[in-house]
Each structure stands twice: as C-alpha cells, then as structure tokens.
Structure 1
Amino acid sequence: ITLDGTDVTGLKPSGLVRNGVVQCPEGRKLFPEMSVLKNLMLGAYVHRRNKAEIKKTLEEILALFPILDEKKDQSAGSLSGGQQQMVAIGRAMMGRPKVLLLDEPSLGLAPLVVKQMFETIKGINEQGTTVLLAEQNAFAALKIAHRAYVIENGRLVMEGDKDAMLGNEAIRKAYIGA
C-alpha cells in the first residue's frame, strides 16, 4: 500500500499517523475520565515535538467544533454522544491526516446531529483531507460521497460514483429504503 509514493504496508500505527493515515474508530474510544483537551492532544502525540503546529491544529479543531472549546476542561465522558463524536473526530484531525478513516461516525447519534456531523465531514474533505467513510447510514454517506463501494460479507459487490449509486434501484431498496 502506498501513500504519496511512500510504501506504508505493515507500518505500526504511529508510522501510519506520521505518514498521514489516521483512524477515527467506531464507538469513539475516548478516555472518559480525561478532559476533552487531553483527549484531543492525544491525537497529536506523534507530532509532539512541533508545539507551534499542534497549537495551530488545536485552534482549527476548536474553530471547527466551538462547543469543544467551551467544554475543553470537562471530562470527555460527561459529554453528549454527538459531542463525544466531535472529540473523536477532533482527536483524529490532531494527527494532521492526509487520509482520514472514519468508522461509523453516525452510530448512536440523533438525526439532527447526524446531519451536522456529515456536513462537518464534507467540510473536512473540501479543505483537502481525503476521507474514507465506512457507514451504515447509506443515504447520508452517499449525499457527501464522491465514490461509493458496497461490501457484503467482506466482498466488494458494487462500486460507482454517488449519482450512479443513488440512482441504482437495487441499492436504493437494500440500503436506502426506497
């Protein structure tokens, strides 16, 4: 597997992050007793020597999710599910990814929060970060996707651009509920 001409096959997680591949896991995986700020800072660990860049990135994350600035000293476990997802995505963005891997970011969130989350994900992509999104909410994912892949039982069964996928009757019936 190569990223920008660099072979990243078999790298340790820290090596992947240094090379620009960062994951935001399903279920958030926050440290609930630690503050929001400390959870965010963990995402910058591999870049810890570059204090100025960390400060700049943190300011960008807090601008992206202003509620986190208000709650930065609270324990991450005290936040709502949507706010915890913001912390999880913010922590991943602290790693300054070229490729952001998002695993089920809408899991357990209220519909309005899901809409806001997907708008934020779209914005992250529009600012130049490639986003690979694994998501059960096919309709929400397809609304912001450029390209989609349908995987069933570990096998790729269909792929195409978002318009082709949204217009595919089998996809609509199986995954969107039309």
Structure 2
Amino acid sequence: MAVKLNTPIKLVLFDVDGVMTDGTIYMAESGEFCKAFNVKDGLAIELLRAHEIKSGVISGKASPALTNRCQKLGFDIIETGCKHKLPKLEQICTNFNVTADAIAFCGDDVLDLPIMERCGLSVAPADAHQLVLEQADWVSAYKGGSGMVRDFVDTLLLSQSNIGLKEIYQPLLRKIALDDLTGVEQ
C-alpha cells in the first residue's frame, strides 16, 4: 500500500507500546519495567536521520527502560507519561517550526486518535485497535514491535523520493562506513 502525501513529512512521531513494542510490559518484583524493542525498528530511526527527517516519541507510559531506549536511538523528541498527546503535538509544532500536516504519527490505540486526526499522515500497525485502523491513512502489514516502524519508514521514504529502496539506504550505509573508519560508536 503506497503512502499518499500532500505535504512532505519533516517529522515522524511514534507511540511506543503497541507500535515500537508488541505492547507487552514485563514487571519485576521491584516494580521495574522491561520492554522488548525490535532492532529493525531502531535502524529505521537512523534511516530517518540520514534523510534529515526528525523523529520522536509521545508515549502515554513512562519508565526508565523507555527513556533509556529513546535516548540510545537519538530521538529528537522524547515525551513520556503523556495521556493527552494533542497539546504536546501543538508544543512540538511551535518548538520545531513545523506544521501538523508535515508530521506523521504512528499509533495503535484510542488514546492516539486525537493526534492521528490532526497530523498530516496517520499510521498504524496491523494489530491496532479497530478505531485506529479506520482512522489511519496507512496500515502496515506488520504488527507493533515486529518491524512495523521499519516497514513504514521504508514506505515513507520511497513515497517522498524518486529513487529505489537500495538508494534510500545509501546515506545510512555511507554514515555507518564513515563511523567505522573514524571509530564513532553506534
């Protein structure tokens, strides 16, 4: 399924649980949260950065594991513990001088509907709530936490360019090769 855009996307925002993870939360007796993230999705964030598209998360939940993963991925925006996401979107638009129609949002549950209605492109994993699937402009064939983010980023970049998938990865591969030569840790 192709992504149809009226405005080029300059920023991609993600919900986390159910999008970047399968929605499972592991809790230790101490109350500490653990989450499983797909490394393919992590590489997709690097790919966005290689194409000068900003990225971030707006998540209803907050945990040290989530903050740690977001920081390691180098997101431009990290908003956690946020049940009402629409005011955060308006603040992000102001802070980054971008209009909502130049933002894609990937969500999976009903708390994501207000922001999905406002953004220029709304995206959902295959296992999203029915109301989210109905709202989404594009639905991945993949479930949340199973490569859905990578699927979307590949599709988005293909839709915004006149080049093929192999060419889309060239800026990222060049950066990785350069980092290897200079000893920069990834």
Coarse TM-score class (shorter-chain normalised): under 0.3
1 or 2 for the larger relative contact order (CA 8 Å, sep ≥6)?
A: 2
Q: TM-score, normalised by structure 2?
A: 0.26
